[in-house]
A and B are shown apart, each in its own frame.
Chain A
Amino acid sequence: MTAETLTLGRAVGRALSDALDADPAVVLIGEDIGRLGGVFRVTDGLQARFGADRVIDSPLAESGIIGAAVGMAYRGARPVVEIQFDGFVLPALDQIIAQVARIRFRTRGRVRMPLTIRLPYGGGIGSVEHHGESPEAYFAHTPGLRVVTAADPQEAYSTLRAAIASDDPVLFLEPKARYWTKGEVDVAIARDLESARLLTRGRDVTLAVYGPLVQTALEAATAALDEGIEIEVVDLRSISPLDVDAVVASVERTGRLVVAHEAPAEASVASELITSVVERAFAALEAPPERVTGYDTPYPPSAIESHYLPGLDRVLDAVDRTLGRRSSHELLEGSAR
């Protein structure tokens, strides 16, 4: 097994290239993916290699991209479409939710929608409005649509290959803040679309994360060792469906749960995961689960995004609360506790 060192962005490009090679039905559609190679250079070189009828520069219309992909799927294609930024997926919500996610159900399985929708997401890159969002909850709330993400280059490669190969429609979320992170990629490693992975073992608390916060979680786990605290980090990988079994198994061991993501708290993935864990492992919990998330405001100006996004210190602050230690809540005023 040979492994290459690739950035996460290049690993995605490699997965697309290998998928185009492996299956002539695969076609890419997106804005600026062809000649430019993508605004993050993820699709660099693909149009030159596979031609403009398989790597298609699309008109500027997100709903059009998804809707056209639906039609191409009817005709036997396996479209892999790109929406350029998280904030721009919103016009496409109608096609995604009312069509892509439902056509199999509507036609009792006669028509399949093997689409993959790639979406760079997440903040922390110091940009402007609509370039740092985390909209995954809208999609997790959509039956019929799989929602997955990747934390590192190997995960990006293998999960995207699995997403493309799947006959279910898959929304593949790419953490743009990690596009330049390097890692080893072995193309022979396969990943599924459902299981979480245990990244560290620890006795004291379970920390469930995904995407860009996996790195933050590992750093938090490292820093926590300085205080003798062992954190078990679970990379959820799949946002819908959630691998609740894996998190429950971990919580049965640790008795404590912290869930962290950039998206706001209200009606979020954390809400869903914590509810599921409480339903199954109520008796194992030694402390109320904690959520560390973006606040319930629109994404703020990037000059203050570090106050909004969960960082190492805010995660460990929540860990302390689950351990019954003092935390920032000591400094809460009055009724806000």
Chain B
Amino acid sequence: MSVVFRLPDLGEGLTESEIVSWKVAEGDEVALNQVIAEVETAKAVVDLPSPYAGVIRRLHAAEGDTVEVGAPLVEYDVEGAGGPSAPGGAPAPAAEPEPAVPEPASPEPAEPGPAESSPSPKEQGEPAAERVAMLVGSVQVADGRRPKRAARTFEQTPFVRQERRRVRAFPPVRRLAKERGIDLAAVVPTGEGGLITREDLERSAAGPAAPASRRERVSRLRKQTAKAMTAALAVPHAACFLQTDVTETLRLARDPADDGAPSPTLLSLACRAIVLAAKRTPGVNATFHADEEEIEFHGRINLGIAVATDRGLVVASVDDADRLDATELAEAIAARAGEARDGSIGVAALTSSTLTVSNVGVFGVDGGIPILTPGQSAIVALGAVRRLPWEHDGGIALREVMTLTVSFDHRVIDGREASVFLRDVGRMLERPALALARG
């Protein structure tokens, strides 16, 4: 029968040895204790005496090779039920009533287990040592074997991490909360360092169970928006309002021209007015460069349209908006808004705007004080159209009225310029024919 002699630990925790020379060859008959090899460990050069009498069937390493402890070294053909002793790795003869001592421990990860040694990477064709990614850094896994936990004899439930804020409370309070089904994260702590005291717990238990707060992870877009908004508020904002009678402009949007061309929308007409007015008040289409102490008046007018998407607010740019008429603007705005909503919008279109319009009117409010898009000097909010009693032709009539708001960078322009700009826009929306006259 065939037995395998595996390389033993030759010296108190050594992990490998080098075969200096073989004293036998495959096919040789060897006697018990006959020296079969000379090996070198980190500590000593030693002779290896044969643990069996028999014929060498196979030598598992060549001279010069480094062999790991526990790896097969020599395969023998022996007679009968194995040699008189069972050295490292070979199972004890079946007749023995007591189990043989497991082979001397080698410095592998100390996983308790049965006596047979695991196959070494040399046998398996040496997989490269695995790096296992951890949260920070990584673990070099020895011998290419990923550490695994032994199976348990009892049923284990899957680990579910409870996502909740860390709270500070002493064990009796924690136990009490658990008993009463109170979520400690919802309790207001009054102790030092945010400690939830027993009284805090009693207080929260006294009234109706406080509704639990809910926490939501912030999306990447919202994070960016938050960042941008926070940065933007460093800029000194001021704002002007103007209520405008847009009845005439609305008529343009509602009554199509009789040549079959598509109609502009109220939004696009307003944008057209804004663009025209911006040409006349370049300060609303500028950037304040604080470091260089310069104001850059942009050559192009790239109109940013604020679009609400599922993920949050984006500003999509219609570049060179001044070159488009109201109808073309309507198409461009619709296209951009569609791209923004379905996520196909390009990075350039998200960053190239020089002046922003925010149509808050679609949400039913009159206006707001919008926050500047970073790098811009003005943002215009268009409110909802309201049917209001208004002064008209010397009397009171129900007119379509919209509030315009411009929020501006006070380092670039002041209230006067902003007002001039807004008044310019309002005038065009009151009397659209003025745009025809003035361009």
Chain A positions near chain B (C-beta within 8 angstroms): 7, 9, 39-41, 124-127, 131, 176-181, 198-204, 215-216, 218-230, 252-253, 255, 282-286, 302-303, 305-307, 309-313, 316, 320, 323, 325-326, 330-331
Contacts and interface: CB of A to CB of B under 8 A. Distances in A.
Contact of B110 (A41, A253, A311): A311
25 contacts: A9-B42, A124-B105, A126-B105, A180-B13, A200-B136, A201-B136, A222-B141, A223-B146, A225-B134, A226-B148, A227-B149, A228-B159, A282-B170, A283-B193, A285-B171, A306-B112, A311-B109, A311-B110, A311-B112, A312-B110, A313-B149, A316-B149, A320-B156, A326-B157, A330-B154
Contacts of B80: none
Contact of A302 (B105, B155, B159, B193): B105
Contact of A312 (B12, B107, B149, B158): B149
Contacts of B135: 200-202, 230
B150 interface: yes
Contacts of B146: 222-223
Interface residues of B, number: 48
B110 A180 contact: no
A27 to B, nearest CB: 25
Given A124-B105, A283-B170, A306-B110, A331 B154 contact: yes
Nearest to B195: A283
Interface string B356-376: 000000000000000000000
A176 B14 CA distance: 10
A41 B42 contact: yes
Contact of B137 (A199, A255, A307): A199
A310 B9 CA distance: 21
Contacts of A125: 9, 12-13, 105, 107
B112 A307 contact: yes
Contact of B158 (A198, A203, A228, A283): A228
Nearest to B136: A201
A200 B137 contact: yes
The 6 closest A-B CB pairs, nearest first, are A125-B13, A126-B104, A219-B147, A311-B110, A283-B168, A201-B135
Contacts of A331: 153-154
A215 B110 CA distance: 10
Interface string B98-122: 0001101111011110000000000
A326 B155 contact: yes
Given A126-B9, A286-B174, A222 B104 contact: no
A176 B105 CA distance: 14
B166 interface: yes
Interface string B200-230: 0000000000000000000000000000000
Nearest to B15: A180
A312 B136 contact: no
B13 A124 contact: yes
B42 A180 contact: yes
Contacts of A325: 156-157, 159
A326 B158 CA distance: 10
B31 interface: no
A312 to B, nearest CB: 6
Contacts of B9: 125-126
Interface string B126-155: 000000101111010110001111100111
B43 interface: yes
B168 A222 contact: no
Contacts of B154: 326, 330-331
A198 B106 CA distance: 28
